[in-house]
Amino acid sequence: MSKPIVAIVGRPNVGKSTLFNIFANSRISIVENTPGVTRDRLYANAEWLDREFVMVDTGGIELMSTDEIAVSIRQQAQIAIAEADVILFVCDARTGITNEDAEVAKLLRSSRKPVVLAVNKADSPKQEMDIYEFYNLGIGEPIPISAANHLNLGDLLDTVVEMFPQSELEGEFGANDEIKVAIIGRPNVGKSSIFNSLVGKERSIVSNVAGTTRDAIDTPVTRDGISFLFIDTAGMRRKARIDEPIEKYSIIRSLRAVDRSDVVLMVLDAAEGVTEQDKKIAGYAHEAGKGVILVVNKWDLYEKDNTSTLRFTEMLRKELIFMQYAPVVYVSALTSQRIHRLPEVINYVAEQNAMRVSTSILNQVVNDAIAINPPPSDKGKRLKILYTTQVKIKPPTFVIFANDPEIMHFSYQRFIENKLREAFGFEGSPLQIIIRGKNEEE
């Protein structure tokens, strides 16, 4: 099931980032503390009233006199609006309605997306009375809040969650026996070309106007008796002078496709290596627990020698340290070099991500690992691992019951994970390991 996306939109200095940080760091937020995953303040996984969603910080929308900048800012808004299920439009009670607010409201009305209007900095009775002027924006009922003082944030989130689309059925995007494959990455790394090579025809067309339409394309393909559903997330062509907003918001398109997929093809540009944007996109796929294949495109253009592949792979492992498990395939969408290998690797990674291990064999492997490297101790108390069981697939999730979970150091947990990978593979799949006390319910 795809998580709803909530985009926070508004002009600068209305408190969008403050609001986002509260949602990302308070109890309502679910943010994994996975070492090595590069993050910024662009998105955060959140939960309210048992509904999980993705909160996106879109930055400030400014209207300047220069046409180029106006186009750039408008594209920022269009991308965020087009990809979101609900728009959280933030205004400032102290300044009242500005021309920028009115312009953003116009964009939102034309989008026909659900909009929640939050009037921030309503810290006094007078400012609460002043919010009535915001009805003039034509967006709906304004909700007075104070991000600084955490006022009315619960009411605000109640309204946001009420506007989420109905839960999608498991089979909505294809039959259960289909392997759903999302092709993700930065603009211009060759996603659409790889997509077209895999489906065997010119199915994906990149829009000339970036971000104005939702253009993720689903195409079913059968190869050697295996059904795939390829999800293309292209549609943002770079243009001179507007690269920054396009680059920044390319991740928004990836979020939904990743949530819907079983396996992710993370496409990288051989000439550019791994950028910070690549790390953000790959990090989301990792946190979502999807099977991942690193696809290095434009390998035909890379200046090679006998050790090029080895050195490039070592660079990938260093830059994407949280994704050591992902297989790497070097391709050229232009010449179709090694594209034919991808369906086989996708099927293999999907099987690894859905692997279930019997409890008896699992405990035998863990006990052997303990014998090789005994658990750590803290202040004279030694960690005792009592029992291990697998509770979930996609991704494989294990619960380790111990006498005192507080003693379990991350390095020892990683040691256990490495031993599980040595024994069972799980290539291309992240693993989730949960440590619980002996008296906790499974």
- What are residue 441's phi and psi, to 5 degrees? -70, 145
Superfamily of 359-437 according to CATH = K homology (KH) domain (3.30.300.20)
- Cα angle 178, 293, 46 (rounded to 5 degrees) comes to 80
Helices (H), 218-330: 243-260, 276-287, 308-319
Q: Where are the domains of the chain?
A: 5-162, 179-352, 359-437
Amino acid 125 reads: P
Q: How many CB atoms lie within 10 A of CB 26?
A: 11
Question: Which of 226, 223, 220, 216 has its CA nearest to residue 192?
Answer: 216
Can you list the residues of the chain whose pLDDT is less than 50? Answer: 27-41, 65, 168-175, 202-215, 235-245, 442
What pLDDT shows up at residue 239?
39
What pLDDT shows up at residue 98?
92
Question: Cα separation of 105 and 3, whole Å?
Answer: 25
Does the pTM exceed 0.85?
A: no
* β-strands 263-269, 328-330 pairing: unpaired
Q: Produce one character per residue of 46-71: b if its CB has 16 or more CB atoms within 10 Å, e if not.
A: bebeeeebbbbbbbebeeeeeeeeee
Residues shown for the chain: 442
Q: What is the CATH number of domain 179-352?
A: 3.40.50.300
Before 142, cis peptide (omega within 30)?
A: no
- What are residue 212's phi and psi, to 5 degrees? -90, -20
CATH class of 5-162: alpha beta
* 359-437 and 5-162 share a CATH fold: no
DSSP state of 337: B
DSSP state of 345: H
Asked if 185 contacts 268 with a C-beta cutoff of 8 angstroms, the reply is yes
Question: Cα separation of 91 and 37, whole Å?
Answer: 32
Q: Is 211 exposed, middle or buried (0-12, 13-18, 19+ CB in 10 A)?
A: buried
Asked if 181 contacts 228 with a C-beta cutoff of 8 angstroms, the reply is yes
DSSP string, 426-441: -TT---EEEEEETTS-
